[in-house]
Chain A
Amino acid sequence: MSYSGSQGPARASTSMRTPLGRVRFLGAAHSGTTDFWRQRLTAVAMTLLMIPGIVVVMMVLGRNQAGAAQVLGSPWVALILILFIVASTWHMKIGMQVVIEDYVHNEKLKLASIMANNFFSFAVALAAIYAIIKLSSGV
């Protein structure tokens, strides 16, 4: 007896899907590796941005607010910082979620923690980007 119709019993025996899943055409969502991939994508991005990022911080050291604002608001510096912030907040959101899923086993607490993690990461990203755009527009 085969659940996969014309494909025959040989194919059916190698399938990992349940008979019900096959009938309903339910399979993998194909998003299982999204976080894994994005974690590495953002990691590579930050590795590339590390030297420009360090140069920016070194340029700002020891300056007063007017001097720091001038450096941080210049286009190339602002772009480097925004790229770094997008990559780092995304990376840290995924990383923290993995840690939460590993250690928090109470379902409600886990959901609350994951939600808080999303809020925190998004707030950090937006606050930093807002500050850089404000510095860039010189207001």
Chain B
Amino acid sequence: MIMSIVHRVTGMALYAGTLLLVWWLVAAASGPTAYARVQAFTGSFIGRLIVLGYTWALMHHLLSGIRHFIWDLGYGFKPNERETLTWAALIGGISLTVLLWIVAYAIGGGR
């Protein structure tokens, strides 16, 4: 029940987060000064927190969406299956977020 609203809330967050995506792409197309401004923001504490939140929202929405797919196809409606899918989305979303950030820092994105 609560997890159903989380799918929506992460969707809304991703909706707003596209502004960051557009800012990043337009800045890259604009030039070094504009791009440095984006990097200064994403490198700041609050910026990094927002990008971390965006990563989690994306990963959770992805897995939660796959869960909806399974239901659309007519599977996973038994109580224990529903529980498993919901927990898989929750734990999987957090795990993928941590994994992506470890990879990002490992390849030098943290500089």
Residues of chain A touching chain B, judged by Cβ–Cβ distance below 8 Å, are 40, 43-44, 46-47, 50, 54, 58, 61-62, 64-66, 68-69, 72, 81, 88-89, 92, 95-96, 99, 124, 127-128, 130-132, 134-135
Contact = CB atoms under 8 A, between A and B. Distances in A.
29 contacts: A40-B69, A43-B65, A50-B62, A54-B100, A61-B107, A62-B107, A62-B109, A64-B32, A65-B31, A65-B34, A68-B35, A69-B29, A72-B25, A81-B25, A88-B14, A88-B18, A89-B18, A92-B11, A96-B15, A99-B8, A124-B22, A127-B26, A128-B18, A128-B22, A128-B26, A130-B26, A131-B22, A132-B25, A135-B25
Contact of B28 (A43, A44, A135): A135
Contacts of A89: 18
B32 A65 contact: yes
A128 B28 CA distance: 11
B3 interface: no
Contacts of A54: 100
Nearest to A120: B15
Interface size class of B (residues with CB under 8 A): 20 to 34
Contact residues of B: prevailing secondary structure: helix
Contact residues of A: prevailing secondary structure: helix
B91 to A, nearest CB: 18
A84 B70 CA distance: 22
Nearest to A53: B58
Contacts of B69: 40, 43-44
